[in-house]
Amino acid sequence: MSNAEPRPENIGDLDFFTRQIMAPNGFAFMWVYKPLCPACGKARLKKPKKTAKFYACEACKKEFEKPEYNKLLAYNIEYTCPACGKKGLIHGEWEKPGTKTSKVMVKFECEHCGEKNTIYRMSKLKKKKKK
Ligand SMILES: [Zn+2]
Ligand SMILES: [Zn+2]
């Protein structure tokens, strides 16, 4: 059972995503949406400028500090478990790593066999060119 959010159509709606191999033969696709505004629910929270220290709703213009924003983040992971080979899709609250140097992005248990899997920050992300 899963209440995961739909696969992303627009990378711009995402706070974070990664696709990676979980050795030896597992696979994971993780995506985290920029959260919907808790005040109006009409738009996602985004930084008004790249350098901004806060996030704002594009609909109601309410502003949120980074800690508030981070509390709203939730991960979705579509995976093939490297231990049992089964596929799964899970959803949960995401504790965003506090520093850019932290390598572990999230740990999760396979819903079939309970294997503890880890998703890492990739050293080089191939960014899709949009626009
Ligand atoms: Zn709003
Ligand atoms: Zn498993």
Q: Which of 49, 56, 121, 106 is nearest to 76 (CA)?
A: 106
Residue with tokens 């209440």, as numbered in its chain: 3
User: Distance (Å, rounded) from C-alpha 54 to C-alpha 63?
Assistant: 7
pLDDT in tens, 55-93: 999 999 999 999 999 999 999 999 999 999 999 999 999
Between the CA of 118 and the centroid of ligand 2 the distance, in Å, is 12
Mean pLDDT for the stretch of residues 93-122: 93
Distance from Cα 59 to the centre of ligand 1, integer Å: 5
Name residue 129's amino acid: K
Count the neighbouring beta carbons within 10 Å of the beta carbon of residue 40: 13
Find the ligand nearest to 55 CA.
1
Task: Please tell me which of 46-55, 77-86, 91-100 the model is most confident about, judged by mean pLDDT.
Answer: 77-86
Residue-level pLDDT at 122 = 78
Model confidence at 1: pLDDT above 50 = no
Instruction: Answer yes or no: is pLDDT of 2 > 70.
Output: no
Q: Tokens 């979980």 correspond to what residue? A: 22
Distance (angstroms) between ligand 2 centre and the Cα of 22 equals 12
User: What kind and span of H or E run contains 71?
Assistant: helix 66-71
CA distances for 76 relative to 45, 85, 99, angstroms: 18, 19, 21
Residue 94 alpha carbon to ligand 1 centre in Å: 21
